Structure 1
Amino acid sequence: MSFPDIRELVPHSGAMVLLDRVLSADAENLCAEVSIHAGSVFYDAPSAGVGSWVGVEYMAQAIAAYAGYQARLTGGPVKIGFLLGARRYDAQVPVFPCDSVLQVHVHQVLQGENGLGAFECRIEMAGVVLAQSTITVFQPEDAKQFLQESMNGAQYES
C-alpha cells in the first residue's frame, strides 16, 4: 500500500519535517521511517549521529502523521497539535548513529472527544528497540483560536 508524502500529513514545513516517509498505518497505528545522515537536522558531527533526545520529536511527528492520515481518510484538513508530555522516555542509546534507518512506531491508546490523546511509542532499528515512551498530545478543534485564548488568559496584572 502506498501512503501520501509525509509532508502532506504533518503541519511542519521545510527542514523541520524530520521523518522521511510513512511505512504503514491503520486505525490505531502508524510506522514512519527516518534515515540518519550527516545532513539530518540535529546531526552532531562529534557524536557521529543524532542525539537520542530527538527521539521524542520523531515520536511526536509520527503522531502528527497519524492524525494527518486519519484526517485525510475522512476528508478533513491536517491540523496543528501540541505535545503535552513524554512519560518515561527511555533511550537505550545516547545517539542514533549515522547511516542508520529508524522505524518510529506509534499506537493510539486514548483519544478523547476534547482533543486529548495518548500514544505508546517506540523507535526501532533492525527490530531492536532503541527508545520508547508514552506521549500525550492535544489537538484542539481550532488551534488559532486556542492559541489566541491562551495568550489572552496568560496576561497578568501587576
Structure 2
Amino acid sequence: MLESLPSCRADIEALIPHAGRMCLLERVIAFDDTRLHAQTDSHRAADNPLRRDGELSALHLCEYGAQAMAVHGGLLAARAGHAAPPGLLVSLRGVELLCKRIDDLAGPLDVYAEDVSDSGAGWQCSFRIEHAGELIANGRAAVLRRPEA
C-alpha cells in the first residue's frame, strides 16, 4: 500500500521497470487519479545513458514523458495494493519539441503526465515538460498492456 510520495530515484525504481541511470525521474511532486507531476535534474548528469557525443537531444523528452506515465500507473497500482501490469510504448503522437537540446538547461525539469483514455488493453496519456516555467515539449503516448505471464 502506498504510504508516501516517492521522493528519490530508488522509490521510483520500485514502481517501474527502469533501473539505475535509465530511471530518469527523481521525485514525484503530486499525483491524483488522472495526473502526475514529477521533477528531475537527470538531464544535466554527465552519465545520463541517453547522451550522445556529450549532448542530450530534446527528442529524449518523450522518454521522460513516457516514464512519467509509468510512474503514474505504478503509483495508482501501489495505492490499490498491487503492482502495475507491464506495458509497451507503441506510439507517440502530436509531439512538439520547443528546444533542440536539454543537457544545457540549468535547474530541474517539471514532467507532467495526464491520462487521456484507457481501453483495458492499453491506455493513452498526454505529457508536458517544462523548464523554469516554460513549455519545452508536449505530446501523447500510447501504451499496450503486456499479458501477464
TM-score by length of 1: 0.80
Deviation at 1:40, TM superposition (A): 2.3
Distance 1:57 1:16 in 2: 10
Structure-to-structure mapping, 1:1-158, within 5 angstroms: 2-4=4-6, 5-35=11-41, 36-37=43-44, 38-44=46-52, 47=55, 50-98=56-104, 99-114=106-121, 116-142=122-148, 145=149
Change (3 A) 1:6 1:46: closer
Opposite residue 15 of structure 2, the aligned amino acid is L
Report SS of the residue matched to 1:89.
Answer: strand
Alpha carbons 2:24, 2:64 under 8 Å: kept: yes
Deviation at 1:141, TM superposition (A): 4.3
Report SS of the residue matched to 2:102.
Answer: strand
Gaps of 5+ in 2: none
Larger radius of gyration: 1
Gaps of 5+ in 1: 146-158
Opposite residue 101 of structure 1, the aligned amino acid is P
Distance 1:70 1:26 in 2: 8
Deviation at 1:32, TM superposition (A): 1.2
